[in-house]
Structure 1
Amino acid sequence: MAKRPQLTGRAAILAVVVCAIAMSLAYPFREYIAQRRQIAELEQEQARALQHLRNLEDQRRKLEDPEYIKQLAKRRLHYCEPDAKCYVLLDGKKGTVPAKAERKQASVAPWYETIWKSVQAADTADGQRAAS
């Protein structure tokens, strides 16, 4: 009895056809996935834009209110209405420089001091070379 080949011609053609179909569907499927991802990103961006629009509309509504405008003027511009006694505290917690910022400013030397130190360092380096 003769052994039949394991892979017949029909089976080889069928395998080639299945591979061709799989290869022809791979690119559209990949594009479909990429488009779905892009749609999701655009929907998120749209949601952020709508939230920003709502915030701006809330702010616009507040700015149309005369009482809110008065509060802003008092707080930001230290506006005082006529016939009213208003006080501004200079040593209050608002508007003061934090201690960290003060330390940073104090630790940085003035520009002229930095230049003078570099001139002195260059002078001592030249003097050492001349002595050698």
Structure 2
Amino acid sequence: MAKRPQLTGRAAVLAIVVCAIAMSLAYPVRELVAQRRDIAQLEQQQARELAAIKEQEDRNRQLRDPGFIKRQGRERIFYCDPGHKCYVVMKDKPTQGKGTPVEKKTAGPPWYQTLWESVEAADSGNGAKVAETVR
């Protein structure tokens, strides 16, 4: 009995046809996946934009409310209605940290005066004065 070959002509043609079908479907499937990913990104972007629109509408509704406007005027710029007495309480001395008063820094001469003095000292040849004024 003659041994039949493992790969017949029909099997080879069938394998080629299956590979051709797989190759022809690979690009459309890849495009389908990419389009679904784009759709998901666009849906997320749309949800963010809708949330921003809702937030702006809420802010617009607040700004149309006269009570909100008056409250903001009182809080931000200390607006006072006519006929009312308004007081702003301020601390006597500003404090920093744990309640210690802030020390005022002693201001030196302006920078341009220091610069001019160093130029004059350099012109007169007094090198010690130049080193002193740079500090």
Normalised to the residue count of structure 2, the TM-score between the two structures is 0.63
Letter aligned with residue 75 of structure 2: R
Per the TM alignment, residue 51 of structure 1 is displaced from its structure 2 partner at its CA by: 1.1
Aligned equivalents of 2:16, 2:58: Cα separation in 1:
64
Unmatched tracts of structure 2, length 5 or more: 98-110, 112-135
| Equivalences for residues 51-66 of structure 1 within 5 A | 51-66=51-66
Larger radius of gyration: 2
The alpha-carbon deviation at position 27 of structure 1 amounts to: 0.8
Q: Which residue is equivalent to 1:20? A: 20
* Residue of structure 2 equivalent to 1:71: 71
Higher helix fraction (1 or 2): 1
Runs of at least 4 residues of structure 1 off by over 6 A? Answer: none
The structure showing larger relative contact order (alpha-carbon pairs under 8 Å, at least 6 residues apart) is 2
Listed as ranges, the gaps of 5+ residues in structure 1 are 92-97, 100-111, 113-132
Q: Which residue of 1 aligns with 2:34?
A: 34
Matched residues, number: 95
Alpha-carbon distance, 1:90 to partner: 4.2
Tell me how far apart the structure 2 counterparts of residues 35 and 58 of structure 1 sit (CA, whole Å): 34
Following TM superposition, by how much is the alpha carbon of 1:76 offset from its aligned partner in structure 2, in angstroms?
A: 1.4
